Structure formats: C-alpha cells, structure tokens
A = this chain, B = another copy of it.
Amino acid sequence: MMQTPLILSSFITRAERFFPNKMVISRTSEETIQRFTYKEWAKRTRKLSNVLTELGMEKGTKVGTFAWNHHRHLEAYFAVPCTGAILHMINIRLSPEHILYIINHAEDEILLVDEEFFPHLEKMAPFLKTVKHFVIMSDSKELPETTLQNVHSYEALLEQASDEYDYPEDLDENTPAGLCYTSATTGQPKGIIYTHRGLVLHSYALGLSDAMGIRERDIAMSVVPMFHVNAWGMPFAGVFFGTSQVLPGPGFNPSVLLDLIESEKVTITAGVPTIWLAVLKELQQKPRDISSLRGIVCGGSASPKGLIRAFEEQYKIPFIVGYGMTETTPLVSMSVLTSAMDDLTIDERIEMRATQGLTMPGLDTRVVNENGEVPWDGETMGELTVKGPWIASEYYKDERTEEAFKDGWLYTGDIAVMTPDGYLKLTDRTKDLIKSGGEWISSVDLENALMTHESVYEAAVIAVPHEKWMERPLACVVLKENVVDDDSKKEELKEYLKGQFASWWVPDEILFVKEIPKTSVGKFLKAALRDQLQDHYAVK
C-alpha cells in the first residue's frame, strides 16, 4: 500500500475540490455574521500560512490562539499544523497565572488573539518569555492602542499575502499538530500534544454512522469552545466531510444559539450540559423552531436525565452523551443506542442515553480495580482506562506523565462501571468519590437523582470529612426559580433520595446555594466546594 501519511492538509484539499460552495458561517460580533465558502476559506487559510511563515513560523514552532469560535480560529486550526507547526489552543478561562505558565511552558512564539482579550495579554507581556508577535483577530484592520512592539492586524496581513502555499505532502503523520493544556488537581496545567495521525483518525471516527455520523449534508455548530480539546474534533471533521459549519463567536448566550439553530437550520451541535440546561430554559420561555436538529451531543460532565428527557421526549431530538477528556482528543465513547435497544421504553432509553455509552471503534477501554477488569454488572466500580491511536501517551514535558500513563494505558481518574451491554457509566472522579465507613458512595449518582426532582435546577454532592465515618456526602442544591428554600424542602429531597438509594448513601444534610461554582469549561468545581465546606460536619 502507498505510504500516504494521515495529515490535515488533505482535508483542505478535499473541502476545496469537492465542497467549494459549502459554508463557514461565522458570528464575529453581536451584530455580524460573516459567510465564507470553503473555497474562500481555503484561500484565506493558505494566506494565513504565508503570513505566519513571514513572521517566523517554522516546522515545530508553537503558535497560540486566544479566541472564540469563528472563521479566523478555523483558519488557524489548519494554517498552523498543515505547515508542520503546532497550534496551541489556549483556554481563555484559565486563571492569569495558569495562562502565563502555559504560554511560557509551550514556548509559543506567535499569539493569535481576539481583540477583546488583547488587554489581558498585554498585561502579561512583560512575563512572556518566548512570544515574538501578537496578531489581533478582528473584522477591522485597525489596531488597538498599545505600547507593545510587534502587534499586527490579522486582516491587514492577510490582505497582502499570497493565497498560494504548498503544504508538505510528505509530512510525517506523527508530527505534532495541536497542543492543549488541562487543569490539574494540584499544580500547573498539563499539556497534551495532538498529532496529525491522531486528529485524522479521530475525524474518521466522528464521521461513522455509529458515532456522530458527521456528513456532507450536516450543518454543524460547535458550541464547545475551540480552545477546549479541538472543539471535540468537529472543526476538523467538518472540513474533512465538506460539512457547513456554524461558529457562534464571542459572548454567545442561549438565545443566540437558538436563533442560530433556527436561522441556519443547524442539524448537529455539541456542548456541555450547563449550556443545554440554559438553552432548554430559554427555549421553554421563547419557543424556536429547532426541528432541523438531528442530534445534540453533550459531554464534559454528567447530563441530568431531565435534560435528556426534555429533548428526547418533548422535542424528539436524540440527546447523545459523549465522554472524553483533554488527553483523548477527546472522543472516547458515545451513548448511541444499538439495535437491541429499539424496544426500550422511553425511561429505559433515557437511562442508556445518560450513560457515557459505547467505546468508539478503534479504541479500547477497560474498567479496572485491584482484581483486574471489573465484571460487566453495572455495579462494580473501577477506574476507567483507555488505549488507542488518538489517546495521549504523555504530558508534554511534564513529570506527572507517569501518574496517568501506565502499561500502555491512560488511567483517566474517572470511576466507572460497565453495564451488561458494554456501556460505560461514570460514577465519579477518583478524587470526588465519597468513602463513608469503608464503602464507596457515588457523588454523581446522587447528583443525577437530585437533578431529576422537579424543584432542583442543579446539584453537586461532595465528600466532607466526618469524625465517625471518615467522609459523609453533603449535597449543595440550586433550586429552580420560585421554589421556597425551607427545611421542609430539604426533607422532601432527602425522602426522594431514600426511595432510590441505601439509607447510608443519603446525604445527612442538604445546603441550598445560589450557584454551583464551575470550572473554565462548565464542569462543577467540586474542589472549591470541598475547600469551602470541609469543616461543615466538624463545625456542627
């Protein structure tokens, strides 16, 4: 067989040759939606490669992006790696300290920055050790006022650049293409390198009928940020399959997303549960026509069953839970339903949809405890481990590699069970698991149960130190609007849980809070809750 490498530049060629008129629809501000055909987009992408090469980008150079989801970010997604350089997608929601750390650790030489974020980076500039150029991504060619040297306008540079660039066809498919950092429990964020090979194979997986089935006739909207694990691979797969893409830009809210779904006839979209909870709320207040959707993909943390039910039952839209992490590119599994599940009741179907689903073709997963792989009984907990060609093998220049990568497997730090059907079901993060009186309690199971109660908007359950039991669960609950937060409601919720769990699982206390603190990507920040409430049972 030919030794044709699996590289991203082949995606540009494909989109430009076969789907020149399919669209990149880019919301660049509250008032502006820009539209580019793939033919135009490909030209702009090659222009950007020339611009960056002119600024000193070579094979292996790290180019950072600090940006929302828009066409310029999509151009960078290809213009950087297709030349052999590395795209570092900086998570704008990290703390300034962490952002400073990762830019220096990655040794970014050029930063592509949305104009609104430039002031933040400007302040950091004295501490950035390797950055030589800032390129401001904005519809305008005017530069913001700054005392910094080497600040350029993206559009001004593109205007003068040639749209011809011969991407190397013989690039080794194991060449690094992308880089993302993920927050660590302790210490600085950890970096993961994505290779061309990994991203190409991941794109094939996204196109499979049994996965997301991304295809030419889709109109795909990545709500998940492009600074977060390759926006789950959708921008790459979209170009590969000639799929029109809707990029919702800066400062979007549920109303903007629903308007885009309606006006652009979006067929598939992906984001975290907190987004879809808010979208559902908005949709119920102000109905839109979302019948173009053939699926909503949801990941990043557990999806409340009430959310799944609302979309599946009320709107007849498959609500598919996916699982992955920064270390896994990210797609590991999806709650697609097999033919054996055709006769499930709606309740049983939602039960399956709420799991993390079936392992993707090409990957291997094992849930392991001290006795090896756990039985597929849906009950025995263990740590989820993953292996495959789009799974990281190390943290980038980081000693913590050996904590997570052992015997050829990634140890995810997620506690899971395997159902009799082979569906993964997360029960907790290793660090969120509650060990009470020597037995494990799943905080996620309790949270999911609480969130099916009609009064509850969100709930987080954490482990709090306890004199007698070592740890006891404590529930922090955000009630829905207009629900009275009195003691009788607390009792009602506890009774609700008693109907579903062993009595010792039920939290001794329920706290009503205004909101659950969340991580930069919308996950519950339980560490913060734990810090805040660690003396709760002691104080009493």
Contact = CB atoms under 8 A, between A and B. Distances in A.
Contacts of A10: 362, 364
Interface centre among A201, A207, A340, A364 (most CB of B within 10 A): A207
Contacts of A208: 204, 207-209, 215, 241
A388 interface: yes
Contacts of A129: none
A371 interface: no
A194 B13 contact: no
A207 B361 contact: yes
A209 B204 contact: no
Contact of A358 (B18, B240, B362, B389): B18
A274 interface: no
A213 to B, nearest CB: 4
Interface stretch (A76-84, A160-168, A250-258, A390-398): A390-398
Contact of A214 (B6, B195, B209, B392): B209
A429 interface: no
A364 to B, nearest CB: 7
Contacts of A107: none
Contacts of A21: 340
A1 B391 contact: yes
A2 interface: yes
Nearest to A422: B18
A408 interface: yes
Taking each of A13, A195, A201, A204, which has the highest tally of chain B beta carbons within 10 Å of its own beta carbon?
A204
Contact of A392 (B2, B17, B329): B2
Interface in A379-425: 387-393, 408, 410, 422
B216 A210 contact: yes
A217 B18 contact: no
A452 to B, nearest CB: 28
Contact of A241 (B204, B215, B216, B361): B361
A241 B211 CA distance: 11
A391 B4 CA distance: 9
A19 B361 CA distance: 12
Contact of A204 (B204, B216, B391): B204
B1 A390 contact: yes
A81 to B, nearest CB: 14
A213 B4 CA distance: 24
Contacts of A364: 10, 13
B209 A215 contact: yes
A359 B216 CA distance: 13
B393 A359 contact: no
Nearest to A365: B17
Nearest to A360: B14
Contact of A2 (B214, B339, B387): B387
A299 interface: no
Interface of A: 1-4, 6, 10, 13-14, 17-19, 21, 174, 193-195, 197-198, 201, 204-205, 207-210, 213-217, 240-242, 329, 338-340, 358-359, 361-362, 364, 387-393, 408, 410, 422
Contacts of A6: 362, 389
Residue of A197, A207, A210, A410 most packed against chain B (CB within 10 A): A210
A10 B387 CA distance: 11
Contacts of A408: 2
Nearest to A267: B339
Nearest to A392: B1
Contacts of A241: 208, 210, 361
A4 B362 CA distance: 9
A255 to B, nearest CB: 28
Contacts of A201: 204
Contacts of A387: 2, 4
A191 B58 CA distance: 42
A393 B2 CA distance: 5
A145 B359 CA distance: 49
A18 B376 CA distance: 11
Contact of A1 (B13, B14, B19, B393): B393
Contacts of A193: 1
Contact of A338 (B197, B217, B339, B390): B217
A1 B422 contact: no
A19 to B, nearest CB: 8
Given A216-B338, A217-B338, A241-B210, A195 B361 contact: no
Nearest to A408: B2
A374 B105 CA distance: 49
A339 B18 CA distance: 13
A392 B213 CA distance: 28
Most interface-central of A215, A329, A387 (chain B CB within 10 A): A215
Contacts of A13: 364
B215 A2 contact: no
A205 B205 CA distance: 9
A248 to B, nearest CB: 22
Nearest to A18: B422
A17 B422 contact: yes
